[in-house]
Chains A and B, each alone.
Chain A
Amino acid sequence: MRKSPYILSTSTTTKIMGDVLIALVPAFVASVVIFGYRSVLLTLVCVVSCVVSESLYCLALRLGQSITDLSAVVTGVLLAFSLPVGFPLWMAAVGSVFSVVVVKMLFGGIGENVANPAVTGRIFLFLSFGKEITNWANTSRLINSSATPLAEGESDIFKLLLGFRAGCIGETCIIAILIGGIYLVARKVITFTTPISTLAGAAAVSLICGRNPVFDLLTGSLMLAAFFMVTDYSTSPVSKKGKVIFGLGVGAISVLIREFGTYPEGVSFAILLMNILSPLIDKMTFRMPFGGVKNV
């Protein structure tokens, strides 16, 4: 017999993930405009590999199919968005399988994974195929320079906002990302807490290090990450306070890696590091329930 409550909201996991996908559409369109049709291909390969591998995993382990929640699709899109347009497709497929099977499903599937699948998948590809993932050559007819602004160090803000620069396909067009981000906030999928904390953390460290904060915020994958990766439910703290700490940490570490690290870009590593700290942050920010007294 069913127990109370007997009415439930209409919100479902699938709808939430669907909203995330809708929010990614502007960035997708921008990537096609900027980098050409190969970005469609790259995205498609990642999405299909993610969905198929999750489905096969569930089949093999006789678990219920979970692909209908659309989270595998989101992982695929986000992974593709963190790759350069010329990235070999088979490598992208390998990365996708790694993201879904190793990072997500082996930990128990959605909600149980410690690390963000797309982010960790990208790190895996970076460590395995370092040359290909930093190869910005021939990225677009619209861009003449082949180095990313982060590696190059100069560019003008207008160009950065529109995304006409070398980089991973989904990360360059700041305007498109912001449109998607605002949509997510309007749909109450996320709040501004996390993205703003992330950007604030990055800007603060950038200032302290004597860098150009505007430039730091608009380049690399920081903006895409702030709205779509740092906000990942499974791998970030639940409380507002926790989200602030988490975001500040990601932003700060990202810029620290840019300043002191040997890699030009550190957002993925920053997220992974904070993912690992997330349960700890959750513990630290535990709120005492209403009327609760400390156990003695």
Chain B
Amino acid sequence: MSQLAGIHINSNKKNTLVYETEIEFPTFVRIPLGKCSPTVSIGDKVKIGQVIGECEKKFTPPVHASVSGTVKGIDDYVEIASDGKKERVLTDRIEITNRESLAKAAYECGLVGLGGAGFPTHIKLQPKATVDTLIINGAECEPYIISDRCVMTQKAREIAEGADIIAGVLGITRKIIGIEKNSTVCGEKLSQYGLEVKILGDKYPKGAEKVIIYECTGRVVEEKKLPSDCGVIVLNAATVAKLAEYVKTGIPLVSRYVTFAGPLISDSVCFNLPIGTPVSYVLDKLKVKAQHILDGGVMMGKEVGEDAVVTKTTGAILAFDELTYPKETSCIRCGRCYGVCPVMLSPAAIDRAYHKRDVKLLKNLKVNICMECGCCEYVCPAKRRLTEFNRRGKIMLKEAENA
């Protein structure tokens, strides 16, 4: 089986186990509600794990209070002033016996894909097709980020337990965890707990869903199809660990590991932070003054403002001094972007089609398959903003198809 293409980038991380760094709880949190509507009002006293937002459609799982204290403000977020007591709500014992109870547990845990995609886990756990393989995504292929490594170091047992729960209910026979070459230190423990450890190639991006499925099983997810259509479920390592933890303790998703890194921070550090923790609070503690802050990695992350908070999908916060585009010049048709695209697209041709607004060509070039990994733009000598053109091309195609 051949490896898919990609790029070699300096990962800025060493092959070591990672333990979280201690940090005091923030004095307040601002928890984003996303698609949920608030279920509390200003002045309410809340405890850790209490539901504060719910979505009517039950597609998006609920949002829970991550600190105990008083609700101070409500908008598209709920702001809670912490009373420092860390009181939490008590829950009934959670029993998982069948598909319904598994999906219910994932829903009530507030679980979404913690790798960054944020897809509701309870939906993933109700596949329409029969699945025989569970792939646990431990390939944190972006440079700097070590959050999943931290989970794999500290919660190998929970990952295995979570995998067992899911496999048991869904009748899955193969449990694979895909990890990077430079996190092999985590591999031993994981395999002791009965997981099949697959060391992925060292090219970025190995953690992309289609890529990891192909490298672990040789199966190809066709366009407009789901992984479950080829018998696979992919879940992030932290997501699986959290599920097991929830079953054991009843504590829903109220905190997560977040890596703080970037050129302005000498070594990547990992914190376990309540959801809603203001990013500036942690940066201040680290004595970092950043002009620009990224939520996520350098390849696929997004710039956020100073008032950003830790969300359910925040795997990393990266601090930068400068983030400006280099000068863009004409495409010289060097073919580098074609060579590195893991899904074998033709980025330079998409660039031209997008700028000509040629929807038919965009469709034939299969722009919809682009996973926005950024490899094409990374290698481009002309500094074309290929990934952005792909994003916009995808939207252009979708709009044309819906019209």
Residues of A within 8 A of B (CB): 1-9, 11-13, 15-16, 66, 69, 71, 108-112, 233-234, 238-239, 286-293, 295
Tell me the bound Cα distance from A104 to B71 in angstroms.
66
Residues of B within 8 A of A (CB): 4, 7, 9, 143, 210, 214, 220-223, 225, 294, 296, 298-303, 320, 323-326, 329-336, 338, 342-346, 348, 363-366, 369, 372, 374, 377-383, 385, 387-388, 391
A contact residues around B342 at 8 Å (CB): 290
Q: Do residues A289 and B332 form an inter-chain contact, with CB atoms below 8 A?
A: no
Of the residues A4, A13, A108, A110, contact of B372 by C-beta under 8 Å: A4
What 6 A-B pairs are tightest by C-beta distance, nearest first? Answer: A5-B374, A290-B343, A238-B335, A11-B381, A289-B366, A6-B298
B contact residues around A15 at 8 Å (CB): 381
B contact residues around A233 at 8 Å (CB): 332-335
Other A-B pairs, 8, CB within 8 Å; known A9-B378, A9-B379, A290-B369: A3-B388, A4-B298, A12-B382, A16-B334, A69-B329, A111-B331, A289-B344, A291-B222
Q: Which of A4, A109, A239 has the most CB of B within 10 A?
A: A4
Known: A111-B330, A111-B332, A293-B222. A7 touches B298 (CB 8 A): yes
B contact residues around A5 at 8 Å (CB): 298-300, 374, 377-378, 387
- Closest chain-B Cβ to A124's Cβ sits at a distance in Å of 23
Of the residues B4, B323, B364, contact of A6 by C-beta under 8 Å: B323
Tell me the bound Cα distance from A233 to B330 in angstroms.
12
- Closest-by-CB residue of A relative to B371 is A290
A contact residues around B387 at 8 Å (CB): 3-5
Of the residues B225, B326, B329, B374, contact of A4 by C-beta under 8 Å: B374
Q: Which of A5, A15, A66 has the most CB of B within 10 A?
A: A5
- Closest-by-CB residue of B relative to A242 is B335
Q: Which of A71, A110, A291 has the most CB of B within 10 A?
A: A291
Q: What are 27 A-B residue pairs whose CB atoms fall within 8 Å in the complex?
A: A3-B387, A4-B387, A5-B298, A5-B374, A5-B377, A6-B301, A7-B9, A7-B143, A8-B380, A11-B336, A11-B379, A11-B381, A15-B381, A66-B329, A111-B331, A233-B332, A233-B333, A234-B333, A238-B338, A238-B346, A239-B338, A287-B346, A290-B4, A290-B343, A290-B344, A291-B369, A292-B369
Known: A3-B388, A6-B320. A238 touches B299 (CB 8 A): no
Tell me the bound Cα distance from A239 to B345 in angstroms.
11
B contact residues around A112 at 8 Å (CB): 330
Known: A11-B381, A291-B223, A292-B369. A286 touches B346 (CB 8 A): yes
- Closest chain-A Cβ to B218's Cβ sits at a distance in Å of 13
- Closest-by-CB residue of A relative to B318 is A6
